[in-house]
Amino acid sequence: MKNPPLTLYLAAPRGFCAGVDRAIKIVEMALTKWGAPVYVRHEIVHNKFVVDGLREKGAVFVEELSECPDDRPVIFSAHGVPKSVPNAAQARNMVYVDATCPLVSKVHIEAQRHADAGLQMIMIGHEGHPETVGTMGQLPKGEVLLVETPEDVTRVKVRDETKLAYVTQTTLSIDDTADIVAALRARFPAIVGPHKEDICYATTNRQEAVKAMAPKCDAMLVVGAPNSSNSKRLVEVGSRAGCAYAQLVQRADDIDWRALDGITSIGITAGASAPEILINEVIDAFKARYTVTEELVETAIENVEFKVPRVLREPA
């Protein structure tokens, strides 16, 4: 029997962003320079396939610095860390490399600048997410207040309504964040915002591509990890933009074929920490079951590149 026809819409941009690319490169270069094992505090990026691949090369993933020996290099993940972490590494005379995405570091610098100007910070982010923990940890306890929803804004207790600033996690939904910012500005008219949007270019671009693709599709799959904030936001954006079925999958094996029964079009995208090999695996799974016609939905072209830290570019 002939495979049924299927139009496969492929979002562009999708998958790896410059910050993720740099973070993975940092671990690989550290292994080349210092040999295994190299310790990594927290998953370098939120993707099991990537983490497992680096583990096979000799990276050891831990949650806390206390799990690392003094005499081996340690790398801090792309999500960023509280100031206390590099301070503790310095106190132990450890060799460490900070793989924090430069766009997350920009938010850290911004928070410090506002604090130096006497402003209390409000952070829009997800409680417990490593990036949120890292950004809030740039300032003393109580100096950064977290809000996740417009309702949180109505309840937040601030020191002085005239001396406030806000920053955001870089991987949020653009639309949700706009609603929270509007609530902050309505309640605190004097609040100071970032010079340039904190939500990073890659998150923005991937969400815009999904918005363009979603109305064309019967269903949409986002390749990404369940602990990846930007991947989960893509699912939400797809649903809101008119796609009846939007689902997160880590690998082709996770596809629920029964839920896709009878579809004639599918949209595929990937979170910023999902490698292209996993996207191709999903596409191949559809090609095995359908007669596929591929269409690219391109809304932006990315050519951003971030340098790795100097210590890795110098010989051992």
Peptide bond into 82 cis (omega under 30): no
Smallest CA-to-CA distance from 234 within 181, 276, 172 is with 172
- The residue from 131, 161, 294, 314 that is catalytic is 131
Residue 131 annotated in active site: yes
Smallest CA-to-CA distance from 244 within 264, 223, 225 is with 264
> Could you tell me the two tokens for 146?
């977290």
Q: What is the 3-state secondary structure (H, E, C) of 194-234?
A: CCCCCCCHHHHHHHHHHHHHHHHCCEEEEECCCCCHHHHHH
Distance CA(312)–CA(96), nearest Å, equals 11
Residue 114's alpha-carbon distances to 15, 118, 195, 228, 297, in angstroms, are: 33, 7, 12, 28, 39
Q: Name the DSSP letter for residue 273.
A: T
> Could you tell me the two tokens for 5?
């026809």
Over the Cα atoms of the chain, what is R_g? 21
Distance CA(308)–CA(18), nearest Å, equals 11
Catalytic residues: 131
